Structure 1
């Protein structure tokens, strides 16, 4: 189908990418200060126990033994040797984690991690997840997507709908599905059974409209509303303006009541799981694990009696934990650009509570920083830290400190203070 020209908009930020997307993958390793890094895409965060065990073994035998969870529910292995690429690929393929070598970097799909478990939401998105992943892996166009392009499948509860995805499918109260592109205020309304195909068609339309010059919907030189109107025409679907998208946070740590039993939710401090922690998580699971975009793990149908042993190995199982809402990039010694061992400093500066999440960064790149309101803690060029509050994409209340004893107090104050009237 021919594509009509898209009208530029003064409200859109045009971005032209003059280089290839260097986003790492399972086959394209990234060289870091602590060795090579592999990023393994886990659509929807769903891992069978055998796959989880294979990842743990690869981390121990090829890398530093740890597994790092990303903000998209993927897994990174670090400290890999430069010559392990073929061995790693063979292990992942044998475990069913590389269904298509051409598509491995574009299988970026997040999904409501408790969908189908706790009885909430308007639909179980697991059939969407399986179908969309198969469609992506069969698409001739999809490999041209950036490794940063993101699909989100929300069961209606609003958890992954706020993760800045390029294509969002959200289950609607009437049994249909809403398809949104980027931050568009409009949606294409499609039948639930057509939703995965509609999501892929939306991504392929983005490729046509972008001409391969941008990586994300937000970078297009046109409003996302114009793109959703084009998607509606292609799908012969109604384009509507739904009620405001109510957004919720990710699962809290602890036991989750479910109609078929109890599920367990645990978080990994700063997204990093040691070999002992990963072993404990896989041992507690009967069939599968679900990794979450909040750097946690859902263990379906597991008794609450397993929580103490998960807590004993250092996982977060208590919703009152001071680790809650604290994130960080890798920092030193893993990254040469980092100005500090920010993970050690974040651990030494923990305080209970805090309305806003806090994210620690070793430099201005702020790798992995969350979207939305948060406290930004960044290692300063001349030593110490610069602490600011981001609300509504604007920076407020900037303070600096080079006094380690004051750092925890300053971060806690930024997380708990009411900044609603800041200018």
Structure 2
């Protein structure tokens, strides 16, 4: 039987109060989004929350140590990883905003206060590390750095919603299917495909122009959104006549002779498996997962130590790494470029610290929202319940536990949806076109193994895409 929570009045399905519908079926926003940032904190049940954008999920070892210090001094001693490869600090006090901002600026994590919420850039986390992707995928990380620089220099970019997303894919298809507003896909031969929202056509651009083209696409979206007058935050919210093809048409007039071609759908995303990743260049990278996306500060410091370059940082021993950590959209961390002789011991050290390093781990593909007690809207302690019904292995569809109908942080593609209703969990498969089983309702009074069986049965469903 799952642990019962104190009685709470039922919370109706989530309704975003900025969303009204008064133009047919058009989505109309009557204000800007309230998405939290590093400077705009969100008040949660467990204190204030800061969301820090990490373009391409990149942190240096020194920056990781700075975040660990911030979590210990100002927060709850943890770092939460998001489905966009960003990081959250929770449990922050009422007077923490200024010292947190000072700490982040000193660490180089706030290059522009005006742009800090719009630096939403995901990138293939294994780009340039495993020999996969177009031309080895190395260009993608450079694209991410240049796009971030361009965003922070743009006078128009601060008008973007904090939910607007860029995805930079090295050609393997891992982040191209994450539902981004602007997607770049590397191609062999030094070109890139640029896709706006879910448009069925893409623009081919020179690889050297890819970051600037992505920014131009975002600025074209802002122009079209203003003309539509519906206050859209995302490309998919634009009304008919102003949707993704309209943004693409405007973008073509702003780019030098782009070539338009049909867009071939990419497969469902395949997150990096935990373990060792060998490079054709002779180095080895490490891939680990944070169970349910939560890193303790001790784990974060251990990651920084293993990533430390030759000579170490002032507070870590040397492991000969690249001094880089890549947070992934699947709540994992990749440490690039270690010498083979230190990679194996480093991975074992991270396993001892409580991180997931086994590719067959039941934690692989398992996610959850914050749940109770951290979120006042949640109807259950979903993290505890997910851990109590841990499956036997990580095979099958990804699973996401949600404390309410908002389903915060759920994955893209096909996935097992486990949603708390207050007195039960509803288990179903979402994102499939055919063959999805019916919803199974498991009361909280039932034994925990019945819920575990329902999740396992749903997880074994054939993966398909909508």
Tell me the TM-score normalised to structure 2 length: 0.85
Q: Does 1:184 align with 2:184?
A: no
Query: How far apart are the structure 1 equivalents of 2:47 and 2:353?
Result: 26
Give the conservation status (yes or no) of the 8 Å contact 1:60–1:275: yes
Q: Which blocks of at least 5 consecutive residues in structure 1 are unaligned?
A: 1-11
Query: How far apart are the structure 1 equivalents of 2:216 and 2:458?
Result: 43
Give the conservation status (yes or no) of the 8 Å contact 2:432–2:463: no
Give the conservation status (yes or no) of the 8 Å contact 2:397–2:463: no
Give the conservation status (yes or no) of the 8 Å contact 1:320–1:352: no
Superposed counterparts of 1:255-294, under 5 Å: 255-258=276-279, 259-286=281-308, 287-294=323-330
Give the conservation status (yes or no) of the 8 Å contact 1:44–1:111: yes
Give the conservation status (yes or no) of the 8 Å contact 1:264–1:298: yes
The equivalent residue for 2:332 is 296
The equivalent residue for 1:342 is 382
For 1:186-230, what per-residue CA distance to the aligned partner results, in whole angstroms no more than 9, with x for missing partners?
A: 111111111111000100010010017100000111342332232
Go from structure 1 to structure 2 and tell me whether the alpha carbon gap of 1:200 and 1:298 turns closer, same or farther (over 3 Å shift).
same
Q: Does 1:68 align with 2:71?
A: no
Query: How far apart are the structure 1 equivalents of 2:235 and 2:431?
Result: 22
User: Which of residues 169, 173, 181 in structure 2 aligns to 1:158?
Assistant: 173
Query: How far apart are the structure 1 equivalents of 2:70 and 2:249?
Result: 45
Give the conservation status (yes or no) of the 8 Å contact 2:268–2:413: no
Give the conservation status (yes or no) of the 8 Å contact 2:110–2:116: yes
Query: How far apart are the structure 2 equivalents of 1:419 and 1:277?
Result: 33
Query: How far apart are the structure 2 equivalents of 1:408 and 1:75?
Result: 29
SS at match of 1:188: strand
Query: How far apart are the structure 2 equivalents of 1:76 and 1:140?
Result: 26
The equivalent residue for 1:358 is 399
- Give the C-alpha shift of residue 245 in structure 1: 2.8
Superposed counterparts of 1:4-153, under 5 Å: 14-122=26-134, 123-124=137-138, 125-153=140-168
Give the conservation status (yes or no) of the 8 Å contact 2:417–2:429: yes
Go from structure 1 to structure 2 and tell me whether the alpha carbon gap of 1:269 and 1:13 turns closer, same or farther (over 3 Å shift).
farther
Query: How far apart are the structure 1 equivalents of 2:461 and 2:109?
Result: 44
Count of aligned positions = 408
Give the conservation status (yes or no) of the 8 Å contact 1:13–1:218: no
Query: How far apart are the structure 2 equivalents of 1:271 and 1:161?
Result: 21
4+ residue runs of structure 1 moved beyond 6 angstroms? none
Give the conservation status (yes or no) of the 8 Å contact 1:53–1:282: yes
The equivalent residue for 1:239 is 260
SS at match of 1:397: coil
SS at match of 2:439: strand
SS at match of 2:360: coil
The equivalent residue for 1:249 is 270
Tell me the TM-score normalised to structure 1 length: 0.93
Go from structure 1 to structure 2 and tell me whether the alpha carbon gap of 1:313 and 1:215 turns closer, same or farther (over 3 Å shift).
same
Moved more, 320-329 or 301-310: 301-310
Query: How far apart are the structure 2 equivalents of 1:296 and 1:200?
Result: 27
